[in-house]
Amino acid sequence: MVLDFYNLKEEPFGVTPDPRYLYFSAVHREALATLSCGIRSRRGAMSLIAKPGMGKTTILFQLLSQLEGSARTVFLFQTLCSSKDLLRSLLHDLGVVDDHGDVVRMQEQLNHVLLAEARQGRTLVVVIDEAQNLEDSALELVRMLSNFETSSYKLMQVILAGQPQLREKLASPQLLQLRQRMSIFARLQPFSIEETYLYMRHRLGVAGYDFKIQLFTPRAEALIAQYSEGIPRNINNICFNALSLGCVLKQKTIREEVVREALADLDLETEGANELNGESAGHKLVAVTRIQPVTEFRQPVVWRRRLAVCAVLLLLLACFSGDRQRPEAQRRHSFAVGTASQKTGTIQFNSAVRTDRTSATDLIANVERWPTKSVLDTFADQTSGGSEAAPSTPTQKSRQYAPPDLHQTRTNDPAKLWEQVKGESSDAEVELGRLYIEGTAVPKNCAQAELLLQAASRRGNARAADLLGVYGDQCR
């Protein structure tokens, strides 16, 4: 379902070490080139050390695929074993029948295989993954295997791949002889922020994403780079969960809130403030931090709306308590502010509410995503007159509106229509509402359109009522 929703041919952030998805950062490219050169130069024993999740296994698979045809390769990953079991596993992968002989007998069989491969012009490359789990006796066996050689070159090339604990083992005094035989120490370091962005896009490209729509916003990418610490496995886990959540929410572009939700689901923790066994001083781990989910997008929208309505009601009681002699003005103010509370999710206000008219105008102007400028202008015009405005009397005549000029209002120019709306043209309000619903000349804004059409409908415009009925389904 996720692949179909984002038009992907395959899962871009999988957990298997597929060499097709290997992104060659500067350190990954250097490590691969170093190991390849060591094998072709027949240096004997080498090592690849990196933190968990850095892509060691993927690098090794890529290396073995490059050696196909020019060398015979064996990949050992079961390292929780004794030295005898390790040697037996090596012979089994080479196709030698296990006759349950002793170590001397198995070493003799291995020597026959090495000489046979040398006569064909090939070398034997043995990769031992997760080598930090090997016992000291098994590591001593590796040293003995490195003694298979001729007068000019080594018959076997051994690569020990493991986590930083492997380096600590090799540095111990009891493994000094093996340490001296290790001619190459390759390392992998976490991605930089920019390399993290390129890594994500590389994997998406291999999976078939066309990039017509940006899949991750810049803020989402920055958040992934921050909390993944540049470790490929962490990046894959965060991106996979973010895509799954985005598919459920029907979001073609993954935003920051979705990434934070994915981080909260993963409950990521980073620990350690020490350097990677004294390696580069520029690559330190972040102190222990538990990611706290952001509550602003988890909070139900209904509570924010209720809070907005309560705030507006309190403000109305404070601001308009002296205007009871103007019922008509109160009704118009109540409509403007009430509509604002329905169309917005949150309202920001000070704990000490001022009772002057300016604070009421500022409050409505600060409402998030407030769509209607004409209502704000009307509200400001009515409140700027102050209490000096004369109350309405029975002898006053209601304001007469000019007959609508359909030729002037039938236009797709939003600027002209706004000018006519300010002149209180109901036809202009209808036309501008139509543009907001269609989303042609201006961005689609159903809340804006509804306000304009309701205002025109109250003035008796029949077209406004028709549009509210016709376009109502498009905005739900």
Q: Is the pLDDT of residue 319 over 70?
A: no
Would you state the pLDDT for residue 70? Answer: 86
State the pLDDT at residue 185: 93
Q: What is the pLDDT of residues 85-137, one digit of tens each?
A: 899 999 999 988 876 778 888 888 898 999 998 888 889 999 999 999 999 99
d(CA 228, CA 263): 10
Q: Confirm if 46 and 59 have CB atoms less than 8 A apart.
A: no
Q: Is 126 helix (H, G, I), strand (E, B) or coil?
A: strand
**pLDDT band, very low/low/confident/very high, at 333 (cuts 50, 70, 90):** very low
3-state class of 160 per DSSP?
strand
pLDDT reading at 322 higher than 80: no
Q: Tell which residue, 110, 126, 28, 32, has the closest CA to residue 71.
A: 126
The pTM of the full predicted model, rounded to 2 decimals, is 0.55
Q: Which phi and psi (to 5°) does residue 68 adopt?
A: -60, 125
The mean pLDDT of the chain is 75
pLDDT at 4 over 60: yes
Query: 99 versus 433: which is more confidently predicted?
Result: 433
Q: Categorize the per-residue pLDDT at 475 as very low, low, confident or very high, splitting at 50, 70 and 90.
A: low
Would you state the pLDDT for residue 420? 82
pLDDT on residue 473 = 60
**CA-wise closest residue to 249 among 294, 302, 241:** 241
Specify whether the CB–CB gap between 2 and 244 falls below 8 A. Answer: yes
Higher pLDDT, 293 or 241: 241
Which two tokens mark 15? 């957990």
Distance CA 153, CA 325 (A): 106
CA distance 139 to 75: 16
From the centroid of its chain, how far is CA 362? Answer: 36
pLDDT in tens, 12-66: 999 888 989 999 999 999 999 999 999 998 888 999 999 999 999 999 999 999 9
Per-residue confidence (pLDDT) for residue 300, from 0 to 100:
45
Phi, psi of 123 (to 5 degrees): -110, 160
Closest C-alpha to 333, from 343, 342, 323: 323
Q: Long-range contacts of range 88-97, CB-CB < 8 Å, 24 or more positions apart?
A: 90/126, 94/124
Mean pLDDT of the 165-188 span: 92
* Residue 280 confidence (pLDDT): 36
- Strands across the sheet with 123-128, in order? 71-76, 123-128, 156-162, 45-49, 182-187
- pLDDT tens for residues 207-247? 999 999 999 999 999 999 999 999 999 999 999 999 999 99
User: What is residue 472's predicted lDDT score, i.e. its pLDDT?
Assistant: 61
Q: Is residue 404's pLDDT more than 50?
A: no
pLDDT-derived band at 304 (thresholds 50, 70, 90) equals low
Query: Which helix or strand (DSSP H or E) is residue 72 part of?
Result: strand 71-76
**Predicted confidence band at 148 (pLDDT cuts at 50, 70, 90)?**
confident
Amino acid 327: pLDDT: 47
Residue 124's Cβ-count burial label (10 Å; 0-12, 13-18, 19+) is buried
pLDDT at 330 over 70: no
What is the C-alpha separation between 201 and 239, in angstroms, rounded?
11
pLDDT of residue 75: 94
68: amino acid identity, one letter: E
Q: Of 36, 38, 41, 69, nearest to 153 (Cα)?
A: 41
Long-range CB pairs of 11-16 (<8 Å, 24+ gap) are: 11/207, 11/240, 12/203, 12/204, 12/206, 12/207, 12/209, 12/239, 13/203, 13/235, 13/236, 13/237, 13/239, 13/240, 13/243, 14/236, 15/233, 15/236
What are the structural domains, with CATH classification, of the chain? 26-187 (3.40.50.300), 191-290 (1.10.8.60), 301-388 (no CATH), 406-475 (no CATH)
Instruction: Name the one residue in this structure whose structure tokens are 């090495």.
Output: 114
Q: Does 353 have pLDDT greater than 80?
A: no
Q: Is the pLDDT of residue 176 over 50?
A: yes
Q: State the pLDDT at residue 301.
A: 46
366/369 Cα distance (integer angstroms): 9
The whole-number pLDDT of residue 220 equals: 95
pLDDT of amino acid 236: 95
The per-residue pLDDT for range 255-285, each reduced to its tens digit, is: 999 999 999 988 754 443 333 333 333 333 3
pLDDT of residue 338: 44
Of 326, 331, 321, the residue nearest 356 (C-alpha) = 321
More confident residue, 326 or 309: 309
Q: Which two tokens stand for residue 185?
A: 């120490």
Q: Is the pLDDT of residue 296 over 60?
A: no
User: Tokens 């064909």, residue?
Assistant: 120
Cα–Cα distances in Å, from 470 out to 371, 406, 432, 463?
A: 21, 20, 15, 10
